[in-house]
Amino acid sequence: MDPNLETGKSDPITEKAGKTLAELGVHDEAGVQALFDEVLTMYRAEHQRVVMMGAREDPEFGKAAKALHDRWLSQKHGLIRLINDNWLRPAPKELKPLVGPQFNQLRLQPTAEIEDLQESAASVARAVAAHRSRVAGPDLTLPGYRRELGSIHPVTRVQRELEDIFLGIGFRIETGPEIESVYNNFDALNIPESHPSRDDWDTLYIDSQTLLRTHTSPVQIRAMHKYGAPLYIITPGKCYRNENPDATHSAMFHQIEGLAVDTDITFADLKGTLDFFAKKFFGEKTRTRFQPSFFPFTEPSGEMAASCPFCEGRGCRTCKESGWIELMGCGMVHPDVLRHGGIDPERFSGWAFGLGIDRFAMLKYGIDEIQHFFQSDVRFLRQF
């Protein structure tokens, strides 16, 4: 076994991980790169040695996998921890953007690989125990099988968080079908035949009357017919668009629609509610901004943005230096939409909003690629 793993003795990497970049005399990009290259090379060699022990069915394999885990990933003294505390955290401002990505890359690889190694060591141990029990009867001192527990998907987690905020102020959850009529998805929402979103390009049609809903807004129509007014609902669910996938667009994604219909509902109610929501979700210091926009089913329509929760509006990479993050479309429900829902616009008025849950989850967890949510890669999902 690797002497460092066995004895926990100090080695060049452990010594370096105990010092800051300044103490190590590293002041530029080349120095940072060389340092991380050195650590990664060391890690790869140690990992490879333990992998080979597994391949040889070495009886010490399990111990070695555990030692590798403790050396690199231990919460208290692991190398990743030390590197975080001593290199990344105190790094001077100009080096941080270089050290951050290097550190993330370094962190992800051992985390996934060592967990895999430990799992395979556990399954080797189980196979050995099973073999022994066939030869000499069961070994009752062995621990029982551990059933792996999954975790809540990050999009579901954020969806529940958003739902909780609105449930807390009297909204109820309403859902609708993902296969929708063209009428509910478009016509009843005042989206004319000539609107670009009705083209094949954006919409996945099943036949001339049916489609995969492109947004959660058709649930507004269904709920108005079902319950009438007053009505306070949120409608989470999947939506589909014939879209080329990229870092922020997916052909299947999730939205939450909000709808409030009552007597005397005004734009002030919309602003007040969404401002309350943003403060609950992003923190009390959050400020909100409403800008005019256009949706055929709301009049007036707006885009709501919140002050960037990462830089508190000062400007950073996440908000593209603007200080603001666009959160959702919203507006006062168009009288024709109320009419199509069977509600008298002379008596009632309403507001609505629609937001992308996946985009909120990306923001919350600092994920820059929407596709990670839908690839079912356990190395990604295990982090939640």
User: 205 near 211, Cβ under 8 Å?
Assistant: yes
Q: Is the dihedral of CA 74, 80, 82, 88 positive or negative?
A: negative
Give least dist CB 272 to ligand FA5, A.
Answer: 17
Give least dist CB 146 to ligand FA5, A.
Answer: 37
Q: Which 8-state DSSP code applies to residue 372?
A: G
Question: With respect to ligand FA5, which residue has the nearer C-beta, 125 or 310?
Answer: 310
What is the Cα–Cα distance from 17 to 189, expressed in whole angstroms?
Answer: 60
Give least dist CB 295 to ligand FA5, A.
Answer: 4
Q: Which 8-state DSSP code applies to residue 288?
A: E
What is the Cα–Cα distance from 88 to 201, expressed in whole angstroms?
Answer: 46
Check binding of 255 to ligand FA5 (CB under 6 A): yes
Kindly write down the DSSP assignment for every residue of 305-355, as one continuous string: EEE-TTTTTS--TTTTTSSEEEEEEEEEEPHHHHHHTT--TTT-EEEEEEE
Check binding of 336 to ligand FA5 (CB under 6 A): no
Check binding of 353 to ligand FA5 (CB under 6 A): yes
Q: Which of 36, 219, 354, 362 binds ligand FA5 (CB under 6 A)?
A: 354
Check binding of 237 to ligand FA5 (CB under 6 A): no
Q: Which of 39, 356, 367, 373 binds ligand FA5 (CB under 6 A)?
A: 356
Check binding of 243 to ligand FA5 (CB under 6 A): yes
Which among 360, 355, 354, 358 has a CA at the least distance from the CA of 189?
354
∠320-322-326 over CA atoms, to 5°? 85
Check binding of 256 to ligand FA5 (CB under 6 A): no
What is the Cα–Cα distance from 48 to 338, expressed in whole angstroms?
Answer: 65
Place of tokens 């994920």: 367
Q: How many chain residues are in contact with ligand FA5, going by CB under 6 A?
A: 23
For ligand FA5, the nearest residue by Cβ is 356
Which among 315, 294, 316, 313 has a CA at the least distance from the CA of 303?
294
At a CB cut-off of 8 Å and minimum separation 6, what does 181 contact?
209, 210, 211, 218
Other beta carbons within 10 angstroms of residue 55's beta carbon come to 9
Check binding of 253 to ligand FA5 (CB under 6 A): yes
**Token pair of 28 as six digits:** 């530029």
Q: Which of 249, 279, 287, 379 binds ligand FA5 (CB under 6 A)?
A: 249
Binding piece for ligand FA5, criterion CB under 6 A, among 120-128, 158-166, 223-231, 347-355: 347-355
Question: With respect to ligand FA5, which residue has the nearer C-beta, 225 or 249?
Answer: 249
Binding piece for ligand FA5, criterion CB under 6 A, among 4-12, 166-174, 229-237, 325-333: 325-333
Question: With respect to ligand FA5, which residue has the nearer C-beta, 118 or 371?
Answer: 371
Check binding of 184 to ligand FA5 (CB under 6 A): no
Check binding of 61 to ligand FA5 (CB under 6 A): no
Check binding of 176 to ligand FA5 (CB under 6 A): no
Binding positions for ligand FA5, rule: CB under 6 A: 215, 217, 241, 243, 249-250, 253, 255, 257, 295, 298, 328-331, 352-356, 358-359, 370
